[in-house]
Chain A
Amino acid sequence: MSVMTQTGTAGAGAAAPVPVLKRPSPYPGWFFLPAAIIYGLLFLLPTVASLYFSLTRWTLFNSTFIGLDNFAQFLREPFLIKGLINTVIYAVVTSGLKVVLGLLLAVLLTSQIAARGYLRSVVFFPVLVSTVGVGITFTVLMHPTNGMINEGLAMLGIKGPGWLTNPSLALYSVALVDVWKGVGLATVIYIAGIVAIPKDYYEAARIDGATKLQNFFYVTLPLCRPATVTVIILSFIGGLRTFDLIWAMTRGGPGFASDTVASVIYKQYQAGFYGLSTAGNVVLFALIAVLVVPLTMLLNRREGHE
């Protein structure tokens, strides 16, 4: 604002003000309407409405304004803090592993290996499968006694843990399944990033005597940074919002050991506390914004600095 004012003053103080030619848009203004209506109805209206309803006690037919009571009650929930911590752990673990594994897989799948195209499809395939289906399948595979994973470990003489029944392990087990399912997308983003790196850089590095490892650290890793930023942001937001896989595999259990904010909210809905769970959604929205906005700014600022 101040910049505009200053510019305006300077302009008025100088000779004749220079008329700014506004380039006419090639499209009429009402072209914007269909998208605006859809966006308004399906996004803006529910967002504003949920902000309001989070301040009420409501059913489908009526609502009573109760101020910030829902928030106070939600934040008093004994397992909410656990859920918040779990959510952040889950988001950090899944996005971290997706970045590392996605990048390594992408490096492998962009190198000269046999059946490269086929392997790319294999890596991407889990992305296409229903999350609930994946959750149920892995629940069976991770069964403490009859699951294929522990049976396989038993054949090697290792006693497998209770993947989903051990409270200190359940969240990480689900996170691993999330990584298995989601790493394909990270890999595809990385592959796009890596193939876009001009070959010249590798050739220059080769003449300079770079080893494969040095190529990776000095050329590939820094130059596929835009892909890294995309993968981190997408998988971090995905991790913070996670619900379906947790619900399909543990329902937040054992106890509240693998509850996340989203599963806590769902439980409130199930119990009929609509206002309370709406307040929970607002908290989740705020949590995502508080964590992701600074992260995005940090990552993009460094990127822009290049």
Chain B
Amino acid sequence: MAGLELKSLHKSYGNVEVIKGVDLTVEHGEFVVFVGPSGCGKSTLLRMIAGLEDITGGELWIGEVLCNGVEPRDRGIAMVFQNYALYPHMTVYDNVGFGLKLAKTPKDVRDAKIREAARILQMEHLLERKPSQLSGGQRQRVAIGRAIVRKPEVFLFDEPLSNLDAALRVETRMEIAKLHHDLGATMIYVTHDQVEAMTLADKIVVLNGGVVQQVGAPIELYQRPANLFVAGFIGSPKMNFVSVTVEAVSAGRVAVAGKDMASIAIPARTDGLKPGDTVTLGIRPHDLSEESGGAIVGRVALVERLGNETIISMQLPSEASWLVVLDGDHNLSIGQNLALSFEPDRAVIFDADGTARHPDLD
């Protein structure tokens, strides 16, 4: 097993730069998730690590080896594809053993490894079947089996759950987490689903436009997003934003007010801020609570009752729309006015350029 080191990795197609200098360290045994919207470059980055895309600039180290020019088979990686890429003319047994066969592994060793992988993934009964005779979840398992038998240094997953239905996705997600725990292997996983990212990752890499927005543990990204993009991308329902004006700056606190809210002092980094500046205030839907006389007053536009919680879409005076998550037993109706408050230290102030001003970054 090995870690990875990406040093100023670049990728261009002609004049179009899709990966704009990624620096990243992946520790041995870590589960790292690349997450971001479509076209952010996360799959390209994974494919560069796999060796399926050339590296335009920078260095890729897997373990102690500089891998820029190394063939995929010699990188010590295995990849699980989004569409599984199981050969339809081969049985599960042959699919799983294909890489070993190419590597001219002796037949008995190969057989033992295939059966061991099948045991780990509980698919011994599927070995003689063809991929067309398998369900989506079973195919996924075979694809993972094909990766396991190679005993790779690094597992690469390219959106492996996106072809599964919701229930199976949750189940397979747990299996992958368990597999990581059991094998202790380094895994890099690409997804656009932030729930997958939050639940699986030791470390999340949020990408947008070919640039790393933030790297950190899931909870860190949730609580201390580096910028507006990460704040909006991580967390469901997504964070609410409102444009406010700085009224006063004191030690460690910024008092802000706006069309939608009365003045409130938020803990934040204050350097360079002065009264009159326009900043963005972000607050998560779960951090809002109903309170008469609260700083924010709006009109209920939509109520979604999920049983354990109620999600309210609220129209603010500035026409901005916010989401609020309240307890399941709230009896609100559309058109009603709702006053909300929040703990000041749960809110985040963002500069005009989108950078977060977390207080203890001073």
Write the nearest CB–CB distance from A216 to chain B, whole angstroms. Answer: 13
Kindly state whether residue A159 has any CB partner on chain B within 8 Å: no
Give the nearest-CB partner of A200 in chain B: B85
In the complex, per-residue mask of A212-229: 1 if CB is within 8 Å of any chain B CB, else 0: 001000110011010000
Question: Which residue of chain A is the closest to B143 with respect to CB atoms?
Answer: A204
Q: Is A80 an interface residue (CB 8 A)?
A: no
How many residue pairs link A and B with beta carbons under 8 A? The number is 63
Which residues of the other chain, B, contact A200 by a CB distance below 8 angstroms? Answer: 81-85
Residues A209 and B87 in contact, CB atoms below 8 Å apart: no
Find chain A residues with CB under 8 A from B146 CB: 204
How many residues of A are counted as interface, with CB atoms below 8 angstroms from the partner's CB atoms? 19
A203 vs B98: C-alpha distance when bound (angstroms): 13
Residue of A206, A207, A210, A214 ringed by the most chain B CB atoms within 10 A: A207
Contact B102 A198 (CB under 8 A): no
- Which B residues lie within 8 Å of A203 (CB)? 50, 52, 79, 81, 85
Question: A201 on the interface (CB 8 Å rule)?
Answer: yes
Q: Within the complex, which residue of B77, B84, B88 is in contact with A223, where a contact is CB–CB below 8 Å? A: B88
A207 engages B79 (CB within 8 Å)? yes
Contacts of A198 in B (CB 8 A): 83, 85
Q: How far is the CA of A218 from the CA of B86 in the complex (A)?
A: 12
Q: Verify if B89 is at the interface (C-beta below 8 Å from A).
A: yes
**Is the Cβ of A222 less than 8 Å from the Cβ of B89?**
yes
Is B55 positioned at the interface, with any CB of A under 8 Å from its CB? no
Report chain B residues within 8 Å CB of A219: 87
**Beta-carbon contact of A306 and B77 below 8 Å:** no
**Known contacts A207-B72, A209-B99, A223-B88; A306 and B83 CB within 8 A of each other:** no
- Do the beta carbons of B130 and A306 come within 8 Å of each other? yes
Contact with A along B64-91 (1 / 0, CB 8 A): 0000000111100111011111011100
B-side contacts of A210, CB under 8 Å: 102
Residue of B nearest to A221 (CB): B89
Mark contacts of A256-276 with chain B using CB atoms, 8 A cut-off: 1 yes-contact digit, 0 otherwise: 000000000000000000000
Judging by beta carbons under 8 Å apart, are A204 and B73 in contact?
Answer: no
Which A residues form the contact surface with B (CB < 8 A)?
A: 198, 200-201, 203-210, 214, 218-219, 222-223, 225, 305-306
Using a CB–CB cutoff of 8 Å, the interface residues on chain B facing chain A are 50-52, 71-74, 77-79, 81-85, 87-89, 98-99, 102-103, 130, 132, 146, 150
Could you jot down 9 A-B contacts, CB within 8 Å? Answer: A200-B82, A203-B85, A204-B81, A206-B72, A208-B98, A208-B103, A209-B103, A306-B89, A306-B130
Extra A-B contacts (16), CB below 8 Å, given A209-B102, A223-B89: A198-B83, A200-B81, A200-B83, A200-B85, A201-B85, A204-B85, A206-B72, A207-B51, A207-B72, A207-B73, A208-B98, A208-B103, A208-B150, A209-B71, A222-B89, A306-B130
